[in-house]
Amino acid sequence: MTTAPWLGDACSLVDAFRAGALSPAEALEASLAAIEHSTLNAVCHLDVETAVAAARNADVSLPFGGVPIGVKELDPVGGWPHSEASLVFADRVAEFDATMVTRLRAAGAVPVAQTTASEFGGINVTATRLHGVTANPWDPTRTPGGSSGGSAAAVAGGLLPIASGSDGGGSIRIPAGFSGLLGLKATFGRIPKGPRTEVEPLTAVLGCMARSVRDTARWFDVCNGADEYDPFSLPRVTGWEHGLGTHDVTGMRVAVAPDLGTAFVAPAVAEAVETAAAALIHDAGLVRRPVDVALPRGGLEWAMAGAASLLVGLSDHYPAREQELTPEMMLICNVTARHFDIEAAKSVERFRRRCIVAMAELFEQVDFIMCATNPDVAFAAAGPMPTTVGGVDLVAEHGFDVAVGNNGALTIPANTTGNPAVAIPAGSVDGLPVSLQVMGRHHAEPLLLDLALVVERTRPWPLVAPGAPC
């Protein structure tokens, strides 16, 4: 009889191993069975043989000793496919482990599944020509978001207790928000991108999709720290998990702006975020300040900066194989190839500078900024990106660029400036998760995790979707 998949957090699974209540081999078997029967399409590759051997020999005294984990398909794992979710690289195999994966293995984790992503991590819906459509375990007709959609679906769907993610414009926070998970986008450089570092884009960071605050803290305990192969990596910081709940945030100042002054947010979502923010301010002893928040809107500039790096990665494959790209990525590449000149580069840099100044000026007045993580609840699983929010047709009212850019308008600012931000489950609207995003000063992740811990303790969220495993 196969053991049921673990529906608690990863830390409690390690506790169960250490207590002898469950073995890593049993936990792995249960995850594999759940993945086999799942209809979410969250996993695109399994490494059963290697994982079984690792589980049998797991040292459960290690931080993630014996825990089966998912690895997003943008993160290389030696011997696994390294397609970056694209038909263009469907036959490519990774020759090395990412530094993050190396550190996780050393901490006892058992990489078993590669989770689906959006092509090259470019958009916030996980639907590709290579793997098809990934579903949200809360409602299979909806998307788990992207680009870490497979990781979010696998964790929220009860298939795996934790999985890797990356965030270049919201790709951890957006799926965390859509799937009822905790998602920390760390300060730029916190987890190194080595060993073969692609410096660009300067917005992208690594992290995880997690069910709990302590899981996230333990992940960063294991994975953070400077690496010589990543010139932007930050020095190692210890005590992420041990320090949870020890920071006095009483009296710290907060600005609350569900729309950040730049996005169009559905009224029901804005109301839920206001309610969640008010509760957190009360429970944590924070002080709300009447600060005007109006961050720059620059979805096009963000997309063009990232696509320029993508074109370098595609090399001779573009435009020769552009028809193999998803329509969204083809459009982004074509616009960039045709229009990214010196004036466009200036526009990107001006946008970056405006964001940095605007964010810095806000943090001269407050310690935290609270807003929505997503403009609305999860949209259709296959897309397209929604252009209507709260019944308002944004194309008709504001134009196509604004309508499409609205989907990441709440998350892109923290990527552009490098600030940390955390997506915290904040209830639901129409049976779908809503998320409160809290942004902090550079290097303030411990404070953000402590605020998330306040919510987790006072208003606990479901660790998995209703009916999981899905």
Report whether the peptide linkage leading into residue 68 is cis, meaning its omega lies within 30 degrees of zero: no
Structure-token pair, residue 226: 């400077």
Confidence class for position 364, pLDDT limits 50, 70, 90: very high
- Does residue 208 share a domain with residue 260? no
Over its C-alpha atoms, the chain yields an Rg (Å, rounded) of 20
Across 3-28, average pLDDT: 97
Q: Residue 385 falls within a domain, yes or no? A: yes
Q: Residue 430 falls within a domain, yes or no? A: yes
CATH number of the domain within which 369 lies:
3.90.1300.10
- Does residue 200 share a domain with residue 313? no
Strand partners, 164: 208
pLDDT higher than 70, residue 334: yes
pLDDT higher than 80, residue 1: no
Query: Where does a domain end: 175, 208, 223?
Result: 223
Q: Residue 137 falls within a domain, yes or no? A: yes
pLDDT in tens, 200-253: 788 999 999 999 999 999 999 999 999 999 999 999 999 999 999 999 999 999
Q: Are 376 and 269 in contact (CB under 8 A)?
A: yes
- Does residue 77 share a domain with residue 209? yes
pLDDT higher than 80, residue 11: yes
Q: Which among 122, 130, 113, 181 is positioned nearest to 146, based on CA atoms?
A: 122
- Does residue 94 share a domain with residue 191? yes
Return the active site residues.
72, 147, 171
Q: Residue 247 falls within a domain, yes or no? A: no
- What single letter denotes the amino acid at residue 370? M
- Cα 112 to Cα 386: distance, rounded to the nearest angstrom: 34
Distance of CA 183 to the CA centre of its chain: 6
**Residue span of the structural domain in which 333 resides:** 253-452
Across 312-330, average pLDDT: 91
Q: Residue 115 falls within a domain, yes or no? A: yes
Mean pLDDT value across the chain: 95
Across 263-267, average pLDDT: 97
- Does residue 267 share a domain with residue 218? no
- Does residue 142 share a domain with residue 205? yes
- Cα 119 to Cα 406: distance, rounded to the nearest angstrom: 20
- Does residue 377 share a domain with residue 308? yes
- Does residue 62 share a domain with residue 118? yes
- Does residue 258 share a domain with residue 218? no
Number of domains in the chain: 2
Q: Residue 3 falls within a domain, yes or no? A: no
Quote the pTM value.
Answer: 0.97
Q: Residue 134 falls within a domain, yes or no? A: yes
Q: Residue 459 falls within a domain, yes or no? A: no
Q: Which among 111, 130, 110, 136 is positioned nearest to 38, based on CA atoms?
A: 136
pLDDT higher than 70, residue 39: yes
pLDDT in tens, 104-150: 999 999 999 999 999 999 999 999 999 999 999 999 999 999 999 99
Q: Are 134 and 40 in contact (CB under 8 A)?
A: yes
Query: Where does a domain end: 223, 238, 265?
Result: 223
- Cα 134 to Cα 113: distance, rounded to the nearest angstrom: 15
- Does residue 272 share a domain with residue 140? no
- Does residue 186 share a domain with residue 267? no
- Does residue 295 share a domain with residue 369? yes
At residue 14, the 3 state secondary structure works out as: helix
Distances (CA, A) of 459 to 134, 143, 284, 442, 455: 29, 25, 12, 27, 5
